[in-house]
Structures are given as C-alpha cells and as structure tokens.
Amino acid sequence: MQHNLAHAKALAPNSKTWSVVKANGYGHTLKGVFSGLSGTDGFALLDIGHAAFLREYGWKSPILLLEGIFSKDDLDECLSLQLDVVVHSLKQVQWIENWLEESSGPQQDAAFKRIQIWLKLNSGMNRLGLTSKAYVEAFHRLHVAGFAVNHLTHFANADDVNVLPTVDAQVEMFNAVTQGLSGQKSLANSAAILWHRFTLEDWCRPGIMLYGASPTGRYKDIEHAQLKPAMLLRSEIIGLQNLRKGDQVGYGGRFVAQRDTQIAVIACGYADGYPRHAPDGAPVWVASGDNLSQGGICPIAGRVSMDMITVDVTDLPSAKIGSPVELWGDLLPIDDVAEASGTVGYELMCALAQRVPINIVS
C-alpha cells in the first residue's frame, strides 16, 4: 500500500490525496491500511465510527465523509472529530442550517473552523449529487452560513472511454457549474489518476489502485502500472481424492472427471469470501510440495462450498496435503480470479469475511 500510494502521488505530484478506505479499507481493515497509507494527506470513508477509529489511532489530518451526514445529529460528531463532509443534497444543507440555528454562538464559530464542506455535483453519473441549479443554491447558502465550501464530483466511466457520460463531458459540466466559485476541487478516482490526468486538480481520491487491483477489473490493464497487490489470501490443501474417469465432485456433481483425476480440497469457501460463482476452470495457485513460488495454476473443479473449494491438481503431482495455496495475491492477481467469476477485484476484497484470520505485515 505504501508503494501504491507513492505511485499514485507520483502520478499526481501537484495534488493532495484522499486515500479512500471505505468498506473497511476495501476489506483490508482500517488497522490493516493505517500504517501503509499513513503518508496520505487525508482519508476518505463513509462511516463516522470509522472516522473516530482513525482519530483514536492518532490521525490528525483531514478525514472526508464521502456520503456526508445521514441525519442532523451526525453534525455534533463531525464537529468534535473535525471532519470534512460531503454535501450531496439540499436536505443535508437544511440539516446543517437547522443545526447551526440550534447551536449556541461559540459552537457555531468552532464549526466554521472545523467542518469543511465538499459540495458534490451530479455531473452525469446520476447517483449521488446536486443538480447544477441546486448546486449553486447550496453553495451560496453554505457560504452565507460561513463555511469553507469545496467542490467535488465523481466519474461514471473513467475506466472505459466508450461509455457515456465521458470524463470530458463530466469535467466540462463541473467546470461550467463551479466557475467563479471559491474553493478547492476534487474529481479523480483511481481510473482518472491512471488514465485521465488532466482531472487531478487540488485533491484526488484513489481507492482500488492503493490495494493493487484494476479499476477495470482486468489485470492486463494495470499489468505495467507498477502497482503491488496488498491482499494475499492464502490457505492450504487439507485433503486429496483420486477419481476415476466419470466420477463427480461436490454438490450437484458439477465437475465430471474426463480422465483419472486428482482433486485437492482447500480450506477456503464462500464463508471466507471466496466467490461462490467461481466456475470450473477458475484459477487457484497451488504450491509444488511446500514451495509456493514454484507452484502453478490449477483449475477449480466442482462447486465452491461454504468452507472448501476443490481443484484439479492432476497436472501438479507434487501437490500434497499441507501444500500452501494462494487464492489471490502476488502469484495470482485478484482481478484474474474476479474476472473468471464475473466480478471485479473490488467486490472480492470487500467481501473478505470476518472469520478469515488477518496477518498485518508492515
């Protein structure tokens, strides 16, 4: 993560960096990401409780709440934790105004200094964000209330130039709406940092690239981008079965042996966050004997179950009970596993289950 953050910063040398650690640091846990990403300028996340954890760890620099407040009452904590807050709706503007009215004078003054607002423009993604008319209204209302107001939008297709709205169109709208308004700007996610560097502005917001996976979900797109995988999911072989041609494996008998086949049973299943949709043929890296780096890719054979997966190790006869296995990591890119299962690395990381023992290496 340290390496990936340094790389993101090198690509955006004139911008500050919000390291996006929502969803529990994309599944790496806040504790797990904290030291690797401590060189960041700020952290961005959703959950006020998680912001409080970062403050407890001693983080004194900015923290951005990406979806802002969910009720007026959240503002007390935003103030005490000194958070930067996204405002994406006029409802949130109203909560802030009401909260200020109810607060006494000194608290108001403190609020202006401590809470920075990031207005979020819907520039074409049509998920969260204010329309251009509401945006200008919100800007003026919050400005009149005395806040520092900054500008933010999010790209729908920075990872794919063939889909509308394009990055260019979103930037054009963002510039048109924010023209002449004071405040800092933030637009770029990982894909924009990698592939649309004219969007970097004051603050960029890398997420997935910090964890060494591809915004597109395809490993080949970041193969040469100097990123390193942050999460290594590893287990080992706990059983072997020798099948005759025609024998079936696991629930539903999905895999049918086309030859005499050796099946290895690995201690990892969908209760650990391994995708149950992984089809026969999805890749698993299996060690040769005890030597993980000398192993090879073996195909999944049979349905993923709660606690186990089964792989065909016929072509890797050195695999034995106790042989280590990498489900994803630096020998097998998480994007390759995700692609085989019809998803993206983001989802696999975030779905890593609580029961998986985490070994934080720093």
- Positions marked active-site: 22, 251
SS3 (DSSP) at 85? strand
Residue nearest to ligand PLP (CB): 207
Tokens of 305: 């179950």
* C-alpha–C-alpha distance, residues 229 and 236, integer Å: 20
Nearer Cβ to ligand PLP (20/200):
20
The reply to whether 20 sits near ligand PLP by the rule CB under 6 A is yes
Q: Which of 37, 66, 78, 334 binds ligand PLP (CB under 6 A)?
A: 66
87 neighbors 152 (Cβ within 8 angstroms)? no
Nearer Cβ to ligand PLP (20/319):
20
Site string for ligand PLP, 181-220 (x = CB under 6 A): --------xxx-------------xxxx------x-----
Least Å distance, CB 173 to ligand PLP, is 16
Q: How many residues bind ligand PLP (CB under 6 A)?
A: 12
* C-alpha–C-alpha distance, residues 280 and 303, integer Å: 8
The reply to whether 310 sits near ligand PLP by the rule CB under 6 A is no
DSSP annotation string for 94-146: HHHHHHHHHS-HHHHHHHHHHPEEEEEE-SSS-SS-B-HHHHHHHHHHHHHTT
The reply to whether 345 sits near ligand PLP by the rule CB under 6 A is no
Q: How many CB atoms lie within 10 A of CB 49?
A: 9
Nearer Cβ to ligand PLP (25/283):
25
Nearer Cβ to ligand PLP (108/157):
157
* C-alpha–C-alpha distance, residues 28 and 349, integer Å: 7
Nearer Cβ to ligand PLP (122/341):
122
Least Å distance, CB 312 to ligand PLP, is 34
Least Å distance, CB 300 to ligand PLP, is 27
* C-alpha–C-alpha distance, residues 53 and 32, integer Å: 12
Residue 346's contacts (CB-CB under 8 Å, 6 or more residues apart) are 26, 208, 213, 217
Least Å distance, CB 196 to ligand PLP, is 12
DSSP annotation string for 234-290: EEEEEEEEEE-TT-EESGGG-EE-SSSEEEEEEE--GGGT--TTPPTT-EEEEEETT
| Own/partner long-range contacts of 313-318 (Cβ < 8 Å, ≥24 apart) | 313/237, 313/240, 313/262, 313/263, 313/264, 313/286, 314/259, 314/260, 314/261, 314/262, 316/286, 316/288, 317/262, 318/288, 318/289
The reply to whether 122 sits near ligand PLP by the rule CB under 6 A is no
Nearer Cβ to ligand PLP (215/250):
215
* C-alpha–C-alpha distance, residues 17 and 192, integer Å: 13
Least Å distance, CB 209 to ligand PLP, is 6
The reply to whether 303 sits near ligand PLP by the rule CB under 6 A is no
The reply to whether 123 sits near ligand PLP by the rule CB under 6 A is no
The reply to whether 50 sits near ligand PLP by the rule CB under 6 A is no
* C-alpha–C-alpha distance, residues 295 and 240, integer Å: 17
Least Å distance, CB 215 to ligand PLP, is 5
The reply to whether 250 sits near ligand PLP by the rule CB under 6 A is no
Q: Which of 154, 185, 196, 303 binds ligand PLP (CB under 6 A)?
A: 154
The reply to whether 325 sits near ligand PLP by the rule CB under 6 A is no
Binding site for ligand PLP (CB under 6 A): 20, 22, 66, 154, 189-191, 205-208, 215
